[in-house]
């Protein structure tokens, strides 16, 4: 091998750089361990909220020594910023995808146009987006242009004064569209910058914020974040601050009575219509219900009668006499119902004279309160506030005159003048001004001391110090240009992340030890050199990950472990070829040289095909799947370097000066020698077996289907851990009463469930998230210690015995993004098949090889899908079809191709070396010669996967199961499907490849 010195230099430098990059992780980890020890010594176990206090003490310790030099001038803060990033599933935290409302942006650009065609097009685009892969803008344009004579440049739409420099009234729609596209993109960029500034001020370490194409979506990953609800509010708050004049309670008391009567009459009319359509069976059921109701007490009957005859007033809570600006009090759970009543056209038509544009808005409820206030703002024809928050130039957390937490604000000159006029009017009339943030009334104070000059104002209310700080933060950072809804989220508790690290390290260690020992067992001293190269390869992988700032996830660890198993394949190919050359009587030096040269083609082809599927994963995947693809691709590159160059350096050094270097042990010396099996003769039996497996799989897929996870159908999924084992059927029965559609399954241990529901998945906002968590709390509190949820609890006398129960992690996927994920998954699978077909066609120059490879891959995918369908709800772990499963399918495709390409490479080699042989004989001998490589590689990979499957954690068990099936089926198909299909397709064309090769070489076929 040439340039040995250069390769040695590069390897040493690469290793030193990797060690340097990983040193930051080592330093940060050591300091954090010291902080935990300090916190445990400082905070006695008897302290209430021991865990929280200990975390606070640890954070204070880290803050105090953050800039002190620890080693070679490296401080903790420096090391923390450069350490190997751990993903959400390893560190805990939150991962969300925010959808910036393009509809809101369009309305803003059109100055909130009232044009019916414009607003209807936005509504139509919103509906069409649920079942379309087109962008919102494209759907809006389609809906708008379907209306006759619709012009985007109309003065009532985008031909406004604000856009007059770019849009003229006579412009065609095709000319206006690029302008609108650019303006929308600028607005999304503005939203991105606002969110980044908010997150930076929040103080989360190693946040990841990025735009996702031109969809208006923004990905935000905050590993290690603990206060999840606070972050959700911070991200979704538009900071739409408004100041409104507000009506007094006595001005709307009569209206509520009138509205109640109208709602009652409307419900009564609908009920009568419904009763007219009842069949006799329903009448019988009604009779039985009447019999049951006769058992109720008279008091219950009176309450029920009042609720029926007074649907709105019966919801009013008598917590106090409404006064000042508070119209009435209601239960938080009834807000949706009240909104529907007040929005009825018949009810709105009864608004008092002069109050036709009144706007009903809810207040901000007190902490842990179930009651909320209703206000009526003095709206106008344009539904605009008297003063907006755009005039605010600064904001900070402070305290009001009675010591309550508040947010103080400073306005600009224009705002100061309007504020002075508003407060002066309120003072003289004895009225109030409502301070509204994101359509929630935070406070509605009166003004008793005359007009307020200077532009100073204050928001007070039921704040915690964190809420006040966050509110000041978002007001300083600026408002979002449009509403931002969480369309996908994943939340992982810190203890679950630590468990994932422990299980990942355990599986990694077991897999590595097995591979190292097996290589020594099978290849002797040469196996030791391969092991050294393998350990160096692992160092390179982690060094590259750290240097690139990539995020290590649990699937990423699986990717590294899988790389270890698959990287052995390169060494196995090399060693097997060297053994073959030695068996031909060549000298050791010649055998090593020829072995490396002959194995190179197979190694490159096998790794390139796997790398292509990894690239497709990286392109179409999201979150943890990108982590898996990243580590897989890095592992392929480093494995190739270590196997082709480092292993050869070690072997050349071990065999120099005539030293004997065995490539087997006494036990394995004669394994797999002189194998000559007629594989093609058995192909008909294989076809029958595979056809039966495929038919059964397709039958199950057609009848039973697949258990699609929330990634593909939308919904919310919660992993809940209980103190004792629970019955999933019992839990599901309790929850279905409130969540309507819910599924509870054992997830891992018998004391842990995965609870999935699509309840109100079409609705956005943290209010729905809070409602579902409240439902979970109310139904599950009897199964949790102390009736609590979302908290950790100490058990036993020592803080080390602390355990965590409740919601350990949660996932939310909106229906629109679920459809996008499903479509991207289809593209990924189909794209990988096309890429594979073309690559093999390019490399082998005959479509028959491509056909055989693709047939084997399709065979493998169908069987894996079929087994997941057949065994769903049978095996004691989740077999959901989600993004991780798609990653598994693509990995199976890559592995199957890896195996197939090695066999095809040997067949091609035999064609070139023995052009006069009959094709049947040639193919059988070629396949037989690869059996030792196939068994060794498949065995090591299977053991590696099994180690991850058993010890790698519940969240990737289904993922590993798919890979295990894929390796088994892929190994089988490369020999019994890909090769026979290639052979038969050649025969049907009347071509003998060996004849073709002989003719090309000018020889005669024997």
Residue 488 belongs to what H/E stretch? strand 484-492
Residue 602 zone, left/alpha/beta (φ > 0; ψ -120 to 50; rest): alpha
Structure-block tokens of residue 560: 């590294």
Beta strands in 934-986 (DSSP E): none
For residue 5, what pLDDT is reported?
Answer: 77
> In this predicted model, what pLDDT tens digit does every residue of 234-272 receive, in sequence order?
777 666 778 888 888 888 888 888 888 888 888 777 666
In degrees and rounded to multiples of 5, residue 150 shows phi and psi of -70, 130
- Given a cut of 60, whether residue 790 has pLDDT beyond it is no
Please, are residues 937 and 572 in contact by the beta-carbon 8 Å criterion? yes
861 vs 191, higher pLDDT: 861
272 vs 572, higher pLDDT: 572
Q: Which of 325-339, 617-631, 901-915 shows the lowest per-residue confidence on average (mean pLDDT)? A: 617-631
- Given a cut of 60, whether residue 278 has pLDDT beyond it is no
Mean pLDDT of 465-489: 71
For residue 697, what pLDDT is reported?
Answer: 92
For residue 689, what pLDDT is reported?
Answer: 93
Please, are residues 386 and 243 in contact by the beta-carbon 8 Å criterion? yes
Please, are residues 976 and 690 in contact by the beta-carbon 8 Å criterion? yes
> Distance between CA atoms of 678 and 690, rounded to whole angstroms?
18
> Distance between CA atoms of 502 and 90, rounded to whole angstroms?
9
> In this predicted model, what pLDDT tens digit does every residue of 659-671 receive, in sequence order?
777 777 878 777 7
299 vs 371, higher pLDDT: 371
696 falls in which pLDDT band (50, 70, 90)? Answer: very high
Mean pLDDT of 170-196: 82
- Given a cut of 60, whether residue 640 has pLDDT beyond it is yes
2 falls in which pLDDT band (50, 70, 90)? Answer: low
Q: What percent of the chain lies above the pLDDT cut of 70?
A: 81
Mean pLDDT of 383-387: 81
- Given a cut of 80, whether residue 207 has pLDDT beyond it is no
For residue 947, what pLDDT is reported?
Answer: 80
For residue 999, what pLDDT is reported?
Answer: 46
For residue 728, what pLDDT is reported?
Answer: 79
> In this predicted model, what pLDDT tens digit does every residue of 505-531 receive, in sequence order?
777 788 778 888 888 888 888 888 888
204 falls in which pLDDT band (50, 70, 90)? Answer: low
Distance of CA 338 to the CA centre of its chain: 35
Mean pLDDT of 991-1004: 47
CA dihedral angle for residue 201, residue 207, residue 208, residue 211, rounded to 10 degrees: -20
Q: Which of 303-307, 842-846, 861-865 shows the lowest per-residue confidence on average (mean pLDDT)? A: 303-307
- Given a cut of 80, whether residue 867 has pLDDT beyond it is yes
Q: Which of 132-136, 176-180, 310-314 shows the lowest per-residue confidence on average (mean pLDDT)? A: 132-136
For residue 998, what pLDDT is reported?
Answer: 47
Residue 849 belongs to what H/E stretch? helix 847-871
What single-letter DSSP state applies at residue 708? Answer: B
> Distance between CA atoms of 882 and 888, rounded to whole angstroms?
10
Q: What percent of the chain lies above the pLDDT cut of 90?
A: 2
Counts of helices then strands in the chain (DSSP H, E): 34, 23
DSSP 345-400: HHHHTTPPTT-TT-EEEEB-PPTT--EEEEEEE---TT---SEEGGGEEEEEEEE-
For residue 294, what pLDDT is reported?
Answer: 46
Distance of CA 778 to the CA centre of its chain: 28
For residue 692, what pLDDT is reported?
Answer: 95
> Distance between CA atoms of 45 and 800, rounded to whole angstroms?
10
Mean pLDDT of 129-152: 81
For residue 1001, what pLDDT is reported?
Answer: 46
Structure-block tokens of residue 925: 């001998």
Counting every residue, how long is the chain? 1006
Mean pLDDT rounded to a whole number for the chain: 77
List the beta bridge partners of residue 373: 329
The CA-to-CA distance between both ends of the chain, in Å, stands at: 38
Mean pLDDT of 28-39: 84
CA dihedral angle for residue 555, residue 557, residue 562, residue 564, rounded to 10 degrees: 170
In terms of average pLDDT, the best of 184-198, 613-627, 847-861, 882-896 is: 847-861
Exposure b/e, 568-604, CB count within 10 A at least 16 = b: bbbbbbbbbbbbbbbeeebebeebbbbbbebbbbbbb
For residue 610, what pLDDT is reported?
Answer: 77
Mean pLDDT of 176-184: 86
> In this predicted model, what pLDDT tens digit does every residue of 50-81 receive, in sequence order?
666 776 777 788 888 878 888 878 888 888 87
DSSP 797-844: SSGGGEEEEEEEEEEEE-HHHHHHHHHHHHHHHHHHHHHHHHHHHHHH
> Distance between CA atoms of 477 and 393, rounded to whole angstroms?
10
Q: How many CB atoms lie within 10 A of CB 691?
A: 11
For residue 698, what pLDDT is reported?
Answer: 93
For residue 792, what pLDDT is reported?
Answer: 37
> In this predicted model, what pLDDT tens digit does every residue of 668-684 receive, in sequence order?
777 776 777 888 888 88
For residue 688, what pLDDT is reported?
Answer: 93
Mean pLDDT of 372-393: 82
> In this predicted model, what pLDDT tens digit does every residue of 916-949 receive, in sequence order?
778 888 888 888 888 887 888 788 888 878 887 8
For residue 478, what pLDDT is reported?
Answer: 61
655 vs 450, higher pLDDT: 450
> Distance between CA atoms of 86 and 554, rounded to whole angstroms?
9
SS3 string of 918-930?
Answer: CHHHHHHHHHHHC
277 falls in which pLDDT band (50, 70, 90)? Answer: low
Q: How many CB atoms lie within 10 A of CB 114?
A: 12
- Given a cut of 50, whether residue 376 has pLDDT beyond it is yes
For residue 562, what pLDDT is reported?
Answer: 66
> Distance between CA atoms of 896 and 971, rounded to whole angstroms?
7
Please, are residues 916 and 998 in contact by the beta-carbon 8 Å criterion? yes
- Given a cut of 60, whether residue 298 has pLDDT beyond it is no
Q: What is the reported pTM?
A: 0.65
């Amino acid at each position: 091998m040439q340039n040995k010195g250069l390769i040695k230099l590069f390897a040493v430098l690469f290793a030193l750089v990797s060690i340097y990059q990983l040193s930051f992780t080592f330093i940060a980890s050591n300091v954090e361990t010291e902080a935990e020890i300090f916190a445990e010594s400082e905070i006695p176990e008897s302290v209430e909220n021991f865990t929280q206090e200990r975390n606070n003490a640890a954070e204070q310790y880290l803050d105090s020594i953050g800039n002190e030099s620890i080693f070679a001038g490296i401080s903790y803060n420096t090391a923390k910023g450069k350490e190997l990033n751990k993903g959400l599933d390893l560190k805990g935290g939150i991962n969300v995808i925010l959808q910036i409302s393009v509809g809101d942006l369009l309305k803003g650009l059109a100055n909130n146009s009232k044009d019916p065609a414009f607003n209807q097009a936005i509504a139509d685009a919103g509906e069409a987006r649920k079942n379309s892969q087109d962008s919102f803008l494209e759907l809006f344009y389609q809906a708008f242009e379907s209306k006759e004579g619709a012009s985007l440049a109309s003065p009532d739409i985008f031909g406004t004064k604000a856009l007059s420099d770019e849009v003229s009234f006579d412009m065609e729609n095709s000319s206006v569209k690029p302008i609108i596209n650019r303006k929308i993109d600028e607005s999304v960029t503005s939203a991105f910058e606002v969110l980044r500034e908010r997150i930076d001020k929040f103080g989360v370490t190693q946040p990841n914020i990025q735009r996702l194409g031109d969809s208006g979506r923004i990905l935000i990953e905050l590993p290690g974040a603990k206060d999840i609800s606070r972050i959700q509010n911070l991200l979704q708050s538009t900071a739409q601050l408004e100041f409104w004049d507000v009506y007094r309670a006595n001005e709307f008391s009569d209206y509520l009575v009138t509205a109640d009567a109208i709602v009652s009459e409307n419900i009564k009319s609908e009920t009568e219509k419904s009763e007219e359509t009842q069949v006799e069976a329903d009448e019988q059921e009604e009779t039985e219900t009447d019999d049951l109701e006769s058992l109720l007490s008279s008091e219950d009957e009176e309450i029920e009668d009042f609720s029926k005859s007074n649907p709105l007033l019966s919801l009013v809570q008598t917590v106090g006499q409404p006064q000042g600006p508070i119209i009435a009090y209601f239960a938080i759970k009834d807000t949706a119902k009240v909104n529907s009543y007040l929005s009825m056209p018949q009810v709105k038509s009864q608004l008092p004279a002069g109050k036709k544009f009144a706007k009903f808005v809810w207040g901000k409820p007190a902490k842990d309160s179930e009651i909320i206030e209703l206000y009526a703002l003095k709206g106008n024809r344009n539904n605009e506030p008297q003063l907006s928050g755009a005039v605010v130039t600064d904001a900070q957390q402070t305290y009001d005159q009675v010591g309550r937490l508040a947010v103080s604000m400073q306005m600009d000159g224009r705002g100061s003048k309007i504020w002075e006029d508003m407060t002066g009017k309120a003072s003289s009339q004895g009225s109030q001004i409502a301070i509204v943030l994101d359509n929630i009334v935070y406070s509605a104070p009166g003004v008793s001391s005359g007009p307020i000059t200077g532009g100073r104002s204050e928001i007070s209310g039921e704040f915690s110090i964190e809420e006040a700080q966050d509110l000041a933060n978002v007001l300083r950072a600026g408002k979002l240009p449009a509403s931002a809804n969480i369309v996908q989220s994943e939340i992982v508790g810190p203890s679950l992340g630590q468990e994932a690290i422990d299980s990942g390290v355990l599986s990694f260690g077991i897999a590595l030890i097995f591979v190292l020992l097996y290589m020594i067992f099978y290849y002797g001293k040469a196996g030791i050199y391969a092991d050294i190269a393998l350990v160096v390869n692992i160092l390179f992988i982690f060094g590259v990950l750290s240097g690139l700032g990539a995020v290590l996830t649990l699937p990423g660890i699986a990717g590294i472990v899988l790389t270890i198993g698959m990287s052995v394949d390169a060494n196995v190919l090399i060693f097997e070829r060297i053994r073959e050359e030695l068996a031909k009587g060549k000298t050791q030096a010649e055998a090593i040289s020829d072995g490396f040269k002959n194995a190179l083609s197979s190694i490159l082809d096998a790794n390139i095909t796997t790398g292509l599927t990894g690239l497709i994963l990286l392109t179409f995947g999201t979150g943890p799947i990108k982590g898996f693809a990243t580590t897989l691709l890095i592992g392929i590159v480093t494995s190739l370097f270590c196997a082709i160059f480092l292993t050869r350096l070690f072997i050349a050094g071990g065999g120099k000066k005539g030293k004997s270097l065995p490539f087997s042990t006494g036990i394995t010396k004669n394994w797999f020698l002189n194998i000559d099996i007629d594989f093609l003769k058995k192909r008909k039996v294989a076809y029958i077996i595979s056809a039966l497996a495929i038919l059964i799989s397709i039958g199950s897929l057609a009848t039973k289907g697949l258990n699609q996870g929330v990634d593909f159908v939308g919904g919310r999924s919660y992993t809940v851990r209980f103190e004792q084992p629970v019955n999933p059927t019992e839990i599901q029965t309790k929850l279905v009463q409130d969540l309507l559609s819910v599924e509870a399954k054992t997830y891992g241990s018998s004391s842990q469930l995965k609870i999935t529901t699509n309840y109100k998945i079409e609705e956005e906002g943290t209010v729905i998230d809070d409602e579902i968590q409240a439902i979970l709390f109310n139904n599950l509190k009897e199964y949790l210690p102390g009736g609590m949820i979302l908290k950790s609890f100490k058990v036993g006398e020592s803080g080390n015995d602390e355990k965590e129960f409740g919601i350990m992690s949660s996932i939310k996927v909106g229906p629109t993004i679920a459809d996008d994920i499903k479509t991207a998954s289809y593209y990924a699978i189909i794209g990988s098949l096309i890429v594979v077909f073309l690559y093999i066609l390019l490399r082998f120059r005959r479509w028959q090889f491509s056909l055989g490879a693709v047939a084997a891959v399709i065979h493998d995918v169908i069987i894996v899908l079929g087994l997941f369908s057949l065994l769903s709800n049978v095996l004691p772990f989740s077999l959901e079809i989600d993004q991780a499963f798609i990653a598994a399918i693509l990995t199976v495709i890559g592995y199957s191709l890896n195996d197939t390409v090695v066999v095809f490479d040997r067949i091609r080699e035999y064609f070139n070396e023995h052009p006069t042989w009959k094709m049947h004989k040639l193919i059988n001998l070629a396949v037989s010669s690869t059996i030792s490589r196939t068994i060794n590689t498949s065995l090591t990979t299977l053991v590696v996967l099994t180690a991850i499957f058993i010890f790698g954690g519940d969240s990737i068990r289904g993922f590993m199961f798919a890979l295990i099936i894929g390796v088994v089926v892929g190994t089988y198909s490369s020999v019994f499907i890909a090769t026979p299909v290639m052979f038969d397709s050649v025969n049907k064309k009347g071509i003998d490849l060996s004849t073709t090769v002989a003719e090309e070489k000018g020889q005669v076929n024997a």
